[in-house]
Amino acid sequence: MAAPATFTGIDTRLATPADWDRLAARARSLRRAKAVALYAFLIAVSLPIILPYFWLLTIAFSTKTGVADTLVLWRSLAVLALAVIAFWLAAMLAQTRRQMWVGVTAIALAATIVFARLVGPDLHLRNFIFLVEPDFASIVRSRAGEVRGAVQFPSVWRAFGNSTLIAGAQTVIVLTVAPLAAYYLSRFQFPARAAMLRSLLVLHAFPVLTLIVPMFLMLYWIGLLDTLAGVILVLVAFELPFAIFIMKGFFDAVPWDIEMSALTDGASRRQAFLRVVLPQVRNGLLAIAVFTFIRGWEEYIFVFTFLIRNTNWTMSLYMYYVRDDVMGVDYGVVSAVGVFYLVPSLILYLAAQRYLMQMSIGGVKG
Amino acid sequence: MARVEFHNVVKRFGDVEAIRDMNLTIEDGEFVALLGPSGCGKSTSLFMLAGIYLPSSGELLFDDRVVNEVEAKDRNIGIVFQSYALYPHMTVRDNVLFPLRFKRIPREEALGRVRAAADLVQVEELLDRRPSELSGGQQQRVALARALVKEPQLLLLDEPLSNLDATLRLTMRTEIKSLQKKLRVTTILVTHDQVEATTMADRIICMRGGRIEQIGTPDDLYHRPDSLFIAGFIGSPPINLIRGQARDGAVHVGPVAFPFEGLPGAVTVGLRPEHLKFAVSGLKGRIGQMEPMGREILYVVETDVGYVRVLEHGSLAVHAAGEPVNIGFSPDESLVFETASERLIAAARVCPPA
């Protein structure tokens, strides 16, 4: 009988206990080296993604009107880079989980102190003036000695409300229509079902921007141009196919048995749907709710085209006009508006992340 | 409790006839098994009874009333599915309570009935758990409780034991049977497992290709199978089916011949493994394999007419692999089928004394 070779390729017949220790040590160091290389790579590729957000935050809280000072950016970047490298080293050198936690905590503490000393004195909240002062543009401009008339901005809360309304209404409509349509597509056989499923995907594949002119005309003719309702309808129409497709995948995964069981237990088709099937697809509902809301929240091109009056501005339009008006004068305010715009979707994502992770589009079949 | 009848029931799915002209009466309080290989139409029949499928033609009667068009929710039927189909988002209590929610029963009384049903299948201490926290056997019991809590007129069991391990299967078999005897509820068990059917049911309806092949007691099906299909389907280890020739008033199987009164022609002789003995003469062969099964040993013998399985009592092997043997059998215990029609032609002689 031939002795099996180990995965290291060494014939086990020749291995003594001492060899085993040596082999184990080699495997350990190999594993560690691989992990180090992997983390180095991950850090390198994630830096360009993390850095803009980090700088956005730093600028929003530190830049002063009329000053294009980048020193604070470099300082904060230095602290961040050193901290990341220190974390990496700690993870690499730590022998136990406990050691690692101690190291990570110490580094985090040190980084916070250095950050507070180097960048702290420059931090301030004055860039968030737009939250309380609608006519902040004039104030910001006068600070820089420019007195030319600024754009008349509506209150940022107005834009915030409009964005919330658009995203919220869109979410409610999608959440109502998509599950019903998806359930029907998943459970019932009807003419042109396959064609409909295919067209759902094709619809999603189209660049929606190509339809902007016809959409504009349609909204104009039905009198919904420059109304939030018009934008909501357009967004719903573009968001629905994808939501339906996602929901169909979730419904497909609900076994027929429990539905039949509910029917024989005395439930009507509607009761079975509401009480037994719908609770099984809760994660799907959450996923499409979050995605739809965020799509509505970040919507720019349609609101830019279909909304005209400044009382109809959404956060994205507000952001655009702020950039347009005070960018040359005050980067800080522009960044602060960006941070304010970013926070709700960030919170939503963090809250729903657990459910979004469970969504697998790959498992969807027609 | 109900008497169930099928009158010329047909079920088509597009061009496919899943059930072809089914006629059947199940008496009140009876425990019958619908037995057949997958795709034979047994589940389709079950779903028609449950009101999930509508028969394409024919009539379905509960207690002499036609129920074809009666909706599932109004039929008062309890089903236990193969997957148990418990509602994953509800506790056991809510699962069992679910059927009563649509019955306008006062909550106190409903909860009392839930406790009684849970008590019946011994899951009362699991009421606050969720289905995902239960073992297969416990889920099975909860599914039974849910089916029984509404005091159904008909209990349908769809492969209820196939997801349980072997030991639990034995226990649940006994329990379901005694529960049925206690409650006297008309019960239809759908299964592809002939052991389940023969051990549990009073009567077995054997189906094949959408048609009823034979109806009878477990004994009937074992000792007097109408066709080769049933003979091969019932019994474990399976029956030996050996080609033979009927001529000159005898059936010839290899070198063996025994008297036979039927018409000459090609026949298939069915021999149950336990009816075969090792003897000094008979079918010649060589022991190929031995399969010890505890109380008995199954020998697989290679003969001129193919593999023949012989079941010997006793746990000690008396023969070794490769040993040449002769297999003898009694003509009284053989079943003779016409090969062309696959029908039984000589069965009377093999009937055990009634």
Q: Does residue A365 register a pLDDT over 70? A: no
Distance from CA of B153 to the nearest CA of A (A): 12
- B219 & B274 share domain: no
C-beta atoms of A266 and B102 within 8 A: yes
Alpha-carbon span A119 to A114, nearest angstrom: 8
pLDDT of residue A328: 67
- Sign, Cα dihedral of B241, B245, B251, B253: negative
**B106 found inside a domain:** yes
B180 and B85 co-located in one domain:
yes
pLDDT of residue A363: 42
The verdict on B198 and B254 lying in the same domain is: no
CA atoms within 13 A on the CB side of A175: 20
Asked, for residue B257, whether it belongs to a domain, the answer is: yes
Q: Is residue B233 included in any domain, yes or no?
A: no
Tell whether A353 is within 8 A of chain B (Cβ): no
The one-character DSSP state at A357 is T
Last residue of a domain, one of B193, B228, B263: B228
Q: What are phi and psi of A328, to 5 degrees?
A: -65, -25
Would you place residue B203 in the very low, low, confident or very high pLDDT band (cuts 50, 70, 90)? Answer: very high
Kindly report the backbone phi and psi dihedral angles of residue B60, in degrees, each rounded to the nearest multiple of 5, phi listed first.
-115, 125
CA triplet B48, B54, B58: central angle to 5 degrees?
A: 85
Q: Among residues B196, B228, B260, which one ends one of the domains?
A: B228
Q: Which of A89, A76, A74, A75 is nearest to A43 (CA)?
A: A89
Residues B259-278 have pLDDT tens digits of 887 788 899 999 999 988 88
Q: Which residue of B has its CA nearest to A258?
A: B85
Asked if A266 and B78 come within 8 Å (Cβ–Cβ), the reply is no
The pLDDT-based confidence of A18 (bands split at 50, 70, 90) is: confident
DSSP label of B27: -
Find the CATH number of the domain harbouring B153. 3.40.50.300
Is A120 at the interface with chain B, CB within 8 A?
Answer: no
A364 pLDDT higher than 80:
no
Instruction: Give yes or no for residue A362 having a pLDDT over 50.
Output: no
Which of B176, B199, B228 represents a domain boundary (last residue)?
Answer: B228
Q: Are residues B28 and B122 in the same domain?
A: yes
Which pLDDT score, from 0 to 100, does residue B91 have?
93
Question: Is B9 a member of any domain?
Answer: yes
Query: Average per-residue pLDDT in chain B?
Result: 89
B115 and B21 in one domain? yes
pLDDT digits (tens, 9 = 90+) for A345-354: 889 888 887 7
Whether residues B173 and B199 share a domain: the answer is yes
Distance CA B143, CA B138 (A): 9
Within 13 A of A174's CA, how many CA atoms are on the CB side? 35
Give the pLDDT of residue A15.
61
**Contact flag B73-A268 (C-beta cutoff 8 Å):** yes
| Contact list, A250 vs chain B (CB under 8 Å) | none
SS3 B163: coil
Nearest to A263 among B72, B87, B103 (CB): B72
Asked: is A156-356 a CATH 2.40.50.100 domain? The reply is: no
B178 lies in the same domain as B270: no
Euclidean distance between CA atoms B286 and B307, whole angstroms: 10
CB contact under 8 A, A260 and B102: no
Q: Cβ of A280 under 8 Å from any chain B Cβ?
A: yes
Question: pLDDT, tens digit, for every residue of A60-99?
Answer: 888 776 666 677 788 888 888 888 888 888 877 777 788 8
- CATH assignment at residue B283: 2.40.50.140
Report the residue from A257, A264, A268 with minimal CB separation from B77: A264
What percent of chain A stands above pLDDT 70? 89
Residue type, A154: P
Same domain, B205 and B256: no
Banded model confidence at residue B191, pLDDT cuts 50, 70, 90 = very high
Between the CA atoms of A93, A94, A95 and A96, what dihedral angle is there, to the nearest 10 degrees? -170
B140-163 b/e (C-beta count within 10 Å ≥ 16 → b): bbbbbbbbbbbebbbbbbbbbbeb
Taking the C-alpha atoms of residue A46 and residue A366, their distance in angstroms, rounded to an integer, is 36
Residues of chain B contacting residue A188, judged by C-beta atoms under 8 Å apart: none
* pLDDT grade for A13, boundaries at 50, 70 and 90: low
A192-248 per-position pLDDT tens digit: 888 888 888 887 777 878 888 998 999 999 998 888 899 999 999 888 988 998 899
Count the neighbouring beta carbons within 10 Å of the beta carbon of residue A134: 15
pLDDT at A14: 60
Cα separation, B273 vs A122, in Å, equals 94
Q: Where are the domains of chain A?
A: 16-124, 156-356
Question: Are B194 and B246 found together in one domain?
Answer: no
Rounded Cα–Cα distance for residues A136 and A129 (Å)? 7
Domain extent for B296: 238-350
pLDDT at A326: 75
Question: What angle, 0 to 180 degrees and rounded to 10, lies between the N-to-C axes of helices B136-148 and B107-120?
Answer: 130
Q: Is the pLDDT score of A137 beyond 70?
A: yes
Which conformational region is residue B325 in: left (phi greater than 0), alpha (psi within -120 to 50 degrees), or beta? beta
Q: What is the pLDDT of residue A67?
A: 62
CB contact under 8 A, B83 and A257: yes
Question: For residue B293, what pLDDT band results from cuts at 50, 70 and 90?
Answer: confident
Interface test with B, best of A264, A269, A270, A277 (most B CBs within 10 A): A264
- Looking at residue A9, its pLDDT comes to 55
Average pLDDT, chain A: 83
- In this structure, are B180 and B246 located in the same domain? no
The neighbouring-strand residues paired with B246 are: B251, B265
Which tokens in the block code for residue A55? Answer: 């700088």
In contact, A257 and B85? CB cutoff 8 Å? yes
Q: What are phi and psi of B23, to 5 degrees?
A: -125, 130
* For residue A358, pLDDT beyond 80: no
- Nearest CA of chain B to the CA of A277: how many Å? 9
Confidence of residue B353 (pLDDT cuts 50, 70, 90): very low
- Number of domains within chain B: 2
Is B91 inside a domain boundary? yes
Residues B116 and B38 both lie in one domain: yes
Residues A117-140 have a mean pLDDT of 78
Same domain, B206 and B61: yes
For residue A143, pLDDT over 50 is answered with: yes
Q: Give the closest of A265, A268, A280 to B98, CB-based.
A: A265
